[in-house]
A and B are shown apart, each in its own frame.
Chain A
Amino acid sequence: MMTARQHLALAVLVAVLLPVGSLIQGSGVLAFRMYATTPTWHITIMAWDAQGTPRPVSATALAAGVRDALGDVLAGADHWKYAPAPHYFAAHVADLARLACARLPGISRVRVTIDRRAASDAPLETSSAARPCP
């Protein structure tokens, strides 16, 4: 049985607490910010072979072996492009490095760097992760 008071509490939860919580968490994914900004990102991937020779790898090359959402997001990210969830990827930059290890044959070490901007005039934020590849 839902009472009027419980409906009021639920209204506060869905109309205020969820969006505010999402903004505080940083993603704003529950705050109805659709189309309000154009967050952009850029990925730099550097891979080292067994001899320790570094070579740059494009994010598009990494996207080639990945379908659906991730492939769409990674493709073209070697240049600045619109990113639907830059906060999420920045938080998982180490996972992207792990993905690069798994997808790029013959490499011994990889470093992934994500540069992102919340808006065209927003400050640059950088996240980076490096790991050896088994």
Chain B
Amino acid sequence: VGDRGSASLRTAFTAELRRILRRARFDLVVRRGTVGLFYGLLPGLAAALCAGTFTLPFPVLLVAACSAAAGLAAGAAAGLLARMDPQAVLVSGDRLLATRELSSTALELSARAAPGRFADAVIEDAASLLRTTASRRFLGRLRLPLAPFIPLVAALTAAALIFPIDLRLFFARSERERELVDIGESLQKQGQALENDSRASNLGRSLALSQELAQLGRELATGKLTLDEALDRMSELEGRLAQEYQLALQEWRAISPPSDYSEGQDSTAPDSSPPGSGNAQPGDSNGVQNGNSSQDLKGLGDALKKLREDRRRLSESRNQDAGKPGSTAQGPPGISKPGAGTSAPESGSDSHSGTGSGSAGRGKPGGHPGEGDESGMNAGSQAGTAPAPVKRGDPTAISRGSGGPSLKADGSTGEGEMARLLARSLPDLSGSKLPDATVLDQYARQAESALARDEVSQKLREYVKGYFTNIGMPASNTKN
């Protein structure tokens, strides 16, 4: 009878223990899941901290939600897979419940062959304890891992106090915002690359501009600029870059013998096929020997080209958003189509490559007025003018052939080559509305007048003459 009583006591104890373990498993899954959720929030917090400084590929809320979900799932899985030792559960429960090792001793006694005089009483008491105690009490109170959060929350709070947080960073970006971010990132990289080159070559002139370019990119990437602001800033910077580019180009030409850049390609002058983008690569076998100058020129040319492309992208994007598809305007006034104009950074690589044909300045076949052809001609006609104001006009005005700042061929003549080249690098199309045939003669006259000056070398005169010949001017008009 005693043995049967002991056996029934042990059976009852074991049944209660199994029940407790089942519930404890559930509790463990919930607890580990909760802990995992908290840990999963850490990347979200970190992303919130970084969002104002760095460009994130995803919105902060998405990062937080995904990482929290991942943490929850991982924690729950860990709870499911964790080995649940009955002895450990009961030891923990005894400690938490202050039952003085009653249940853990009972577990041990229930497995003994000769448990001793007090075994049955202990097992019975333990079974009663298990029956009347909630399973979660055996696992103790849930302690959330708050330690990693305290410094992060403090840092987030401090950052929010010092730098007001842009709440837009927490939400998904629109298509345009994403495009802005992409462009901003690429500009930032370009600016940084240029800055590095400038530092490496000790080129103070390019350094400031490169830093501004990187800053513009950073602001774009972090969503601090609207589209309009971005376009304004880009236009302004583009103008200054172009100016710097032309200065660098002049410098390069001044210190490089003409034979260095004209050898074997008479029709591809440095200004129409600029170093770094055309055949006359400074530093290559046919290029100039002055490394710093050519490096400066190449970097500026690349940056300018990139900036111009990006601005065109943005402008097109804005036009599309404004519901004006099909506009023939290729961008805001002042932006020439890539490869279409003689504008320095863009012209050489496509249209001049190795040909020496002097086709620079030609637009695409059938190109719209206001594209490269005219900007190229503007370049010739604008010699000596001050840099054209960089201003975004109404793109529709271009398609209508009216409006926008005028850069027509009636510009004043002759204050030096720099201004002429500057105008070529700032092709403002807002005034290019006349067919080329109507202005070519005027351009030719102005070019002749400019070339008649003493300081213009014979070689340059020949080059200009060849240029106008190539674009279809009558020979009589180009005779010097």
Is the A/B pair a real complex? no
Q: Which residues of B contact A (CB under 8 A)?
A: none
